[in-house]
Amino acid sequence: MASAHHDTPPTDSVDGARFDVVLAGSVFFDIVFTDLHGSPSAGTEVWAEGMGSTPGGIANLAVAASRLGLTTSLASVFGDDVYGRWCWELLEEHEGIDLSRSRRFENWHTAVTVSVAQDGDRSMVTHGHPSPISSDALLSDGVSSRTALAELGAMTSLEQEPWWLRAAAHGTRIFADVGWDDTGVWDRAVLEPLSSCYAFMPNEREAVEYTRTSSPLAAARALAEHVPIVVVTCGKDGAIGIDSATGQEVRVPAVPVRALDATGAGDVFGASFVLGSLRDWPLERRLQFSALCSALAVQQFGGSLAAPGWGDIADWWDATRASGDAELTERYGFLQDVLPSERPGAVRRAEATFRLVDHFPGV
Protein backbone atom coordinates (compact mmCIF):
# COMPACT_ATOMS: atom_id res chain seq x y z
CA MET A 1 0.00 0.00 0.00
CA ALA A 2 1.36 3.41 -0.89
CA SER A 3 2.41 5.54 2.02
CA ALA A 4 0.94 8.86 3.03
CA HIS A 5 2.70 11.64 4.87
CA HIS A 6 2.67 11.15 8.61
CA ASP A 7 0.24 13.81 9.74
CA THR A 8 0.48 14.64 13.42
CA PRO A 9 0.78 17.84 15.44
CA PRO A 10 4.42 18.94 15.14
CA THR A 11 6.67 19.17 18.17
CA ASP A 12 7.93 22.62 19.11
CA SER A 13 11.42 23.53 18.01
CA VAL A 14 14.06 24.20 20.68
CA ASP A 15 16.98 26.57 20.15
CA GLY A 16 16.44 26.51 16.40
CA ALA A 17 17.32 22.82 15.98
CA ARG A 18 16.68 21.63 12.43
CA PHE A 19 15.55 18.10 13.38
CA ASP A 20 13.76 16.33 16.19
CA VAL A 21 15.95 13.23 15.86
CA VAL A 22 19.29 12.44 14.27
CA LEU A 23 20.77 8.96 14.08
CA ALA A 24 23.60 7.14 12.37
CA GLY A 25 24.48 3.56 11.61
CA SER A 26 24.31 0.84 8.99
CA VAL A 27 21.34 0.23 6.70
CA PHE A 28 20.71 -3.37 5.68
CA PHE A 29 18.47 -4.82 3.03
CA ASP A 30 16.26 -7.20 5.02
CA ILE A 31 14.39 -10.19 3.68
CA VAL A 32 11.95 -11.52 6.29
CA PHE A 33 10.31 -14.95 6.19
CA THR A 34 7.27 -15.79 8.34
CA ASP A 35 4.83 -18.67 8.87
CA LEU A 36 7.35 -21.41 8.20
CA HIS A 37 6.12 -24.96 7.61
CA GLY A 38 8.88 -26.26 9.88
CA SER A 39 12.23 -25.47 11.46
CA PRO A 40 15.19 -25.09 9.05
CA SER A 41 17.91 -27.67 9.53
CA ALA A 42 20.81 -29.06 7.51
CA GLY A 43 19.77 -30.96 4.43
CA THR A 44 16.15 -29.75 4.42
CA GLU A 45 14.04 -27.23 2.55
CA VAL A 46 11.33 -25.31 4.43
CA TRP A 47 8.65 -23.24 2.75
CA ALA A 48 7.35 -19.98 4.22
CA GLU A 49 3.87 -18.57 3.74
CA GLY A 50 5.02 -14.96 4.16
CA MET A 51 7.95 -12.91 2.89
CA GLY A 52 8.77 -9.22 2.99
CA SER A 53 11.54 -6.93 1.74
CA THR A 54 12.41 -3.88 3.81
CA PRO A 55 15.26 -1.54 4.81
CA GLY A 56 16.76 -2.79 8.07
CA GLY A 57 19.41 -1.95 10.62
CA ILE A 58 19.35 1.71 11.62
CA ALA A 59 16.46 2.21 9.18
CA ASN A 60 14.20 0.52 11.74
CA LEU A 61 14.68 3.45 14.12
CA ALA A 62 14.52 6.09 11.41
CA VAL A 63 11.22 4.88 9.97
CA ALA A 64 9.66 4.43 13.40
CA ALA A 65 10.53 8.01 14.35
CA SER A 66 9.40 9.53 11.07
CA ARG A 67 6.06 7.71 11.10
CA LEU A 68 5.30 9.32 14.46
CA GLY A 69 5.80 12.74 12.92
CA LEU A 70 9.32 13.44 14.18
CA THR A 71 11.57 15.26 11.72
CA THR A 72 14.28 12.66 11.27
CA SER A 73 17.78 12.80 9.80
CA LEU A 74 19.78 9.67 9.04
CA ALA A 75 23.52 9.48 8.40
CA SER A 76 24.42 6.22 6.74
CA VAL A 77 26.28 4.65 3.82
CA PHE A 78 24.40 3.15 0.87
CA GLY A 79 25.75 0.96 -1.87
CA ASP A 80 25.16 1.76 -5.53
CA ASP A 81 23.56 -1.65 -6.07
CA VAL A 82 19.83 -2.28 -6.54
CA TYR A 83 19.32 -2.95 -2.82
CA GLY A 84 20.99 0.29 -1.76
CA ARG A 85 19.17 2.41 -4.31
CA TRP A 86 15.83 0.90 -3.38
CA CYS A 87 16.45 1.54 0.33
CA TRP A 88 17.49 5.15 -0.36
CA GLU A 89 14.39 5.88 -2.42
CA LEU A 90 12.01 4.29 0.06
CA LEU A 91 13.49 6.09 3.08
CA GLU A 92 13.76 9.50 1.45
CA GLU A 93 10.69 9.64 -0.79
CA HIS A 94 8.18 7.38 0.96
CA GLU A 95 9.13 7.90 4.60
CA GLY A 96 10.23 11.54 4.47
CA ILE A 97 13.61 10.91 6.14
CA ASP A 98 16.40 13.43 5.55
CA LEU A 99 19.41 11.74 3.93
CA SER A 100 21.52 14.84 3.37
CA ARG A 101 24.19 13.44 5.73
CA SER A 102 24.20 10.02 4.04
CA ARG A 103 26.42 9.00 1.14
CA ARG A 104 26.35 6.50 -1.71
CA PHE A 105 29.49 4.60 -2.67
CA GLU A 106 30.25 2.91 -5.97
CA ASN A 107 31.49 -0.67 -5.98
CA TRP A 108 30.34 -1.24 -2.40
CA HIS A 109 27.37 -3.50 -1.91
CA THR A 110 24.59 -3.19 0.61
CA ALA A 111 24.64 -5.62 3.54
CA VAL A 112 21.83 -8.19 3.38
CA THR A 113 20.06 -9.89 6.28
CA VAL A 114 17.69 -12.83 6.02
CA SER A 115 15.42 -12.92 9.08
CA VAL A 116 13.31 -15.97 9.95
CA ALA A 117 10.43 -15.22 12.31
CA GLN A 118 9.31 -18.22 14.33
CA ASP A 119 7.75 -18.91 17.75
CA GLY A 120 7.54 -15.23 18.68
CA ASP A 121 11.22 -14.54 18.01
CA ARG A 122 13.55 -14.48 15.02
CA SER A 123 16.94 -15.69 13.85
CA MET A 124 19.07 -13.88 11.30
CA VAL A 125 21.82 -14.50 8.77
CA THR A 126 23.74 -11.43 7.54
CA HIS A 127 26.39 -10.78 4.92
CA GLY A 128 28.15 -7.45 4.51
CA HIS A 129 31.44 -5.55 4.55
CA PRO A 130 32.81 -2.78 6.78
CA SER A 131 31.59 0.69 5.92
CA PRO A 132 34.00 2.76 3.80
CA ILE A 133 33.41 5.75 6.07
CA SER A 134 32.49 6.09 9.74
CA SER A 135 29.41 7.70 11.22
CA ASP A 136 31.70 10.19 12.93
CA ALA A 137 33.02 11.31 9.55
CA LEU A 138 29.51 11.65 8.13
CA LEU A 139 28.59 13.92 11.05
CA SER A 140 31.96 15.58 11.49
CA ASP A 141 30.59 19.11 11.18
CA GLY A 142 28.05 18.62 13.96
CA VAL A 143 24.32 18.01 14.19
CA SER A 144 21.34 20.30 14.61
CA SER A 145 18.85 18.13 16.46
CA ARG A 146 16.87 18.15 19.68
CA THR A 147 17.61 14.48 20.29
CA ALA A 148 19.88 11.74 19.00
CA LEU A 149 19.57 7.97 19.15
CA ALA A 150 22.90 6.27 19.70
CA GLU A 151 24.33 2.85 20.48
CA LEU A 152 26.91 2.52 23.22
CA GLY A 153 29.98 0.60 22.22
CA ALA A 154 29.41 1.09 18.49
CA MET A 155 32.66 1.32 16.56
CA THR A 156 33.85 4.85 15.90
CA SER A 157 36.87 6.38 14.27
CA LEU A 158 40.04 6.48 16.31
CA GLU A 159 40.76 10.11 15.47
CA GLN A 160 37.85 11.71 17.30
CA GLU A 161 35.23 11.10 19.95
CA PRO A 162 31.86 9.66 18.87
CA TRP A 163 29.56 12.06 17.03
CA TRP A 164 26.85 11.75 19.63
CA LEU A 165 29.16 12.71 22.50
CA ARG A 166 29.99 15.89 20.62
CA ALA A 167 26.27 16.48 20.05
CA ALA A 168 25.55 15.96 23.75
CA ALA A 169 28.12 18.60 24.63
CA HIS A 170 26.10 21.07 22.54
CA GLY A 171 22.78 20.29 24.22
CA THR A 172 21.34 17.43 22.15
CA ARG A 173 19.57 14.93 24.40
CA ILE A 174 21.00 11.45 23.85
CA PHE A 175 18.79 8.36 24.02
CA ALA A 176 21.18 5.42 24.19
CA ASP A 177 20.81 1.73 23.48
CA VAL A 178 23.43 -0.99 23.61
CA GLY A 179 24.21 -3.83 21.24
CA TRP A 180 24.32 -7.51 22.04
CA ASP A 181 27.76 -8.65 23.29
CA ASP A 182 28.44 -11.89 21.43
CA THR A 183 31.78 -12.23 23.29
CA GLY A 184 29.97 -12.79 26.57
CA VAL A 185 32.30 -10.38 28.38
CA TRP A 186 29.71 -7.62 28.98
CA ASP A 187 32.47 -5.11 29.69
CA ARG A 188 31.17 -2.41 32.03
CA ALA A 189 33.44 0.11 30.34
CA VAL A 190 30.86 0.20 27.54
CA LEU A 191 28.53 2.01 29.96
CA GLU A 192 30.98 4.80 30.87
CA PRO A 193 29.50 7.33 28.39
CA LEU A 194 26.11 7.12 30.17
CA SER A 195 27.03 10.26 32.08
CA SER A 196 26.55 12.17 28.80
CA CYS A 197 23.17 10.60 28.03
CA TYR A 198 19.63 11.58 28.91
CA ALA A 199 18.12 8.09 28.72
CA PHE A 200 19.34 4.51 28.46
CA MET A 201 17.05 1.81 27.03
CA PRO A 202 18.54 -1.71 27.13
CA ASN A 203 16.54 -4.92 27.08
CA GLU A 204 16.36 -7.02 30.24
CA ARG A 205 19.13 -9.46 29.31
CA GLU A 206 21.54 -6.66 28.41
CA ALA A 207 20.69 -4.71 31.58
CA VAL A 208 21.17 -7.70 33.87
CA GLU A 209 24.42 -8.84 32.23
CA TYR A 210 26.08 -5.42 32.26
CA THR A 211 25.14 -4.69 35.88
CA ARG A 212 25.77 -8.21 37.21
CA THR A 213 22.37 -8.16 38.92
CA SER A 214 19.68 -10.82 39.24
CA SER A 215 16.56 -9.09 37.91
CA PRO A 216 15.49 -6.34 35.47
CA LEU A 217 14.36 -4.12 38.35
CA ALA A 218 17.67 -4.48 40.19
CA ALA A 219 19.48 -3.73 36.95
CA ALA A 220 17.36 -0.64 36.32
CA ARG A 221 18.08 0.65 39.81
CA ALA A 222 21.81 0.13 39.32
CA LEU A 223 21.77 1.93 35.98
CA ALA A 224 19.74 4.83 37.41
CA GLU A 225 22.86 5.84 39.34
CA HIS A 226 24.50 6.80 36.05
CA VAL A 227 21.80 8.34 33.83
CA PRO A 228 18.67 10.49 34.40
CA ILE A 229 16.17 8.08 32.79
CA VAL A 230 16.46 4.29 32.58
CA VAL A 231 14.07 2.07 30.66
CA VAL A 232 14.48 -1.70 30.65
CA THR A 233 12.30 -3.51 28.11
CA CYS A 234 11.10 -6.92 29.21
CA GLY A 235 9.36 -8.37 26.14
CA LYS A 236 6.01 -9.96 27.03
CA ASP A 237 6.43 -8.66 30.59
CA GLY A 238 6.30 -5.01 29.52
CA ALA A 239 8.86 -2.44 30.59
CA ILE A 240 10.38 -0.83 33.68
CA GLY A 241 11.26 2.85 33.90
CA ILE A 242 13.10 4.86 36.56
CA ASP A 243 13.48 8.63 36.82
CA SER A 244 16.68 9.00 38.84
CA ALA A 245 15.97 12.65 39.67
CA THR A 246 12.68 11.92 41.44
CA GLY A 247 13.22 8.27 42.31
CA GLN A 248 9.98 7.37 40.52
CA GLU A 249 9.75 3.73 39.45
CA VAL A 250 7.14 2.67 36.89
CA ARG A 251 6.28 -0.72 35.48
CA VAL A 252 3.85 -1.08 32.59
CA PRO A 253 2.50 -4.32 31.09
CA ALA A 254 2.77 -5.29 27.47
CA VAL A 255 -0.26 -4.82 25.23
CA PRO A 256 -1.73 -8.22 24.31
CA VAL A 257 -1.53 -8.87 20.56
CA ARG A 258 -0.91 -11.80 18.23
CA ALA A 259 2.82 -11.48 17.55
CA LEU A 260 3.96 -12.27 14.02
CA ASP A 261 7.50 -10.83 13.84
CA ALA A 262 9.52 -9.20 16.62
CA THR A 263 12.07 -7.66 14.22
CA GLY A 264 12.47 -3.96 15.01
CA ALA A 265 10.06 -3.92 17.98
CA GLY A 266 12.74 -2.50 20.28
CA ASP A 267 13.47 0.26 17.78
CA VAL A 268 9.79 1.20 17.64
CA PHE A 269 9.74 1.32 21.45
CA GLY A 270 12.75 3.64 21.49
CA ALA A 271 11.39 6.03 18.87
CA SER A 272 8.05 6.18 20.65
CA PHE A 273 9.78 6.98 23.94
CA VAL A 274 11.63 9.85 22.27
CA LEU A 275 8.32 11.28 21.04
CA GLY A 276 6.81 11.15 24.53
CA SER A 277 9.92 12.75 25.99
CA LEU A 278 9.84 15.61 23.48
CA ARG A 279 6.23 16.21 24.45
CA ASP A 280 7.14 16.17 28.16
CA TRP A 281 4.74 13.36 28.99
CA PRO A 282 4.91 11.76 32.43
CA LEU A 283 7.18 8.70 32.57
CA GLU A 284 4.29 6.24 32.88
CA ARG A 285 2.55 7.66 29.80
CA ARG A 286 5.76 7.47 27.79
CA LEU A 287 6.19 3.81 28.71
CA GLN A 288 2.54 3.00 27.98
CA PHE A 289 2.68 4.66 24.58
CA SER A 290 5.95 2.92 23.70
CA ALA A 291 4.57 -0.46 24.78
CA LEU A 292 1.54 0.08 22.55
CA CYS A 293 3.55 1.10 19.49
CA SER A 294 5.93 -1.85 19.81
CA ALA A 295 2.94 -4.21 20.20
CA LEU A 296 1.37 -2.85 17.03
CA ALA A 297 4.69 -3.40 15.23
CA VAL A 298 4.97 -7.10 16.06
CA GLN A 299 1.56 -7.73 14.47
CA GLN A 300 3.19 -6.96 11.09
CA PHE A 301 6.24 -8.55 9.52
CA GLY A 302 9.12 -6.70 8.01
CA GLY A 303 11.09 -4.72 10.60
CA SER A 304 11.11 -1.02 9.65
CA LEU A 305 7.92 -1.16 7.56
CA ALA A 306 6.08 -2.80 10.46
CA ALA A 307 6.38 0.45 12.47
CA PRO A 308 2.95 1.95 13.17
CA GLY A 309 1.80 5.33 11.96
CA TRP A 310 -0.78 7.47 13.71
CA GLY A 311 -3.49 5.86 11.59
CA ASP A 312 -2.60 2.43 13.04
CA ILE A 313 -2.73 3.86 16.56
CA ALA A 314 -6.11 5.46 15.89
CA ASP A 315 -7.47 2.20 14.43
CA TRP A 316 -6.33 0.28 17.52
CA TRP A 317 -7.91 2.84 19.82
CA ASP A 318 -11.24 2.66 17.98
CA ALA A 319 -11.21 -1.14 18.06
CA THR A 320 -10.25 -1.24 21.75
CA ARG A 321 -13.09 1.05 22.77
CA ALA A 322 -15.53 -0.92 20.62
CA SER A 323 -14.39 -4.19 22.25
CA GLY A 324 -15.45 -3.03 25.69
CA ASP A 325 -12.05 -3.75 27.25
CA ALA A 326 -12.39 -1.45 30.25
CA GLU A 327 -8.82 -1.95 31.52
CA LEU A 328 -7.13 -1.08 28.23
CA THR A 329 -9.56 1.77 27.55
CA GLU A 330 -8.74 3.33 30.91
CA ARG A 331 -5.00 2.77 30.56
CA TYR A 332 -4.89 4.40 27.13
CA GLY A 333 -7.50 7.10 27.63
CA PHE A 334 -4.80 9.72 27.03
CA LEU A 335 -4.86 8.82 23.33
CA GLN A 336 -8.01 10.91 22.99
CA ASP A 337 -5.90 14.00 23.60
CA VAL A 338 -2.85 13.10 21.49
CA LEU A 339 -4.31 11.55 18.32
CA PRO A 340 -4.33 13.92 15.32
CA SER A 341 -7.68 15.55 14.59
CA GLU A 342 -7.67 14.32 10.98
CA ARG A 343 -7.40 10.62 10.23
CA PRO A 344 -3.90 9.96 8.81
CA GLY A 345 -3.42 7.85 5.70
CA ALA A 346 -2.08 4.30 5.63
CA VAL A 347 1.64 3.58 5.77
CA ARG A 348 3.56 1.26 3.50
CA ARG A 349 4.09 -2.36 4.52
CA ALA A 350 6.75 -4.86 3.50
CA GLU A 351 6.12 -6.68 0.23
CA ALA A 352 7.55 -9.93 -1.07
CA THR A 353 9.44 -8.22 -3.86
CA PHE A 354 10.10 -4.78 -5.32
CA ARG A 355 10.24 -3.32 -8.78
CA LEU A 356 12.92 -1.23 -10.40
CA VAL A 357 11.99 2.29 -11.47
CA ASP A 358 13.01 4.13 -14.60
CA HIS A 359 15.15 6.79 -12.91
CA PHE A 360 17.79 4.21 -11.95
CA PRO A 361 19.69 4.17 -15.29
CA GLY A 362 21.78 1.19 -16.08
CA VAL A 363 20.04 -1.13 -13.58
Provide the β-strand partners of residue 203: 233
Return d(Cα 249, Cα 229) in angstroms, integer. 10
> What pLDDT is stored for residue 302 in this prediction?
67
29 lies in a domain?
yes
305 lies in a domain?
yes
> What pLDDT is stored for residue 356 in this prediction?
61
In the predicted model, residues of the chain with pLDDT beneath 50 are 1-14, 155-159, 360-363
> What pLDDT is stored for residue 35 in this prediction?
82
Amino acid at 156: T
354 lies in a domain?
no
185 lies in a domain?
yes
3-state SS track over 105-142: ECCCCCEEEEEEEECCEEEEEEECCCCCCCHHHHCCCC
> What pLDDT is stored for residue 355 in this prediction?
67
Enclosing domain of residue 64:
19-38+47-126+134-336
285 lies in a domain?
yes
14 lies in a domain?
no
11 lies in a domain?
no
pTM of the model: 0.88
CA-CA-CA-CA dihedral for 219, 222, 228, 234, to nearest 10: 0
Cα angle 351, 73, 239; round to 5? 75
266 lies in a domain?
yes
Domain CATH code at residue 283: 3.40.1190.20
Structural domain count of the chain: 1
> What pLDDT is stored for residue 61 in this prediction?
95
Return d(Cα 113, Cα 127) in angstroms, integer. 7
Is-contact 87 97, C-beta < 8 A?
Answer: no
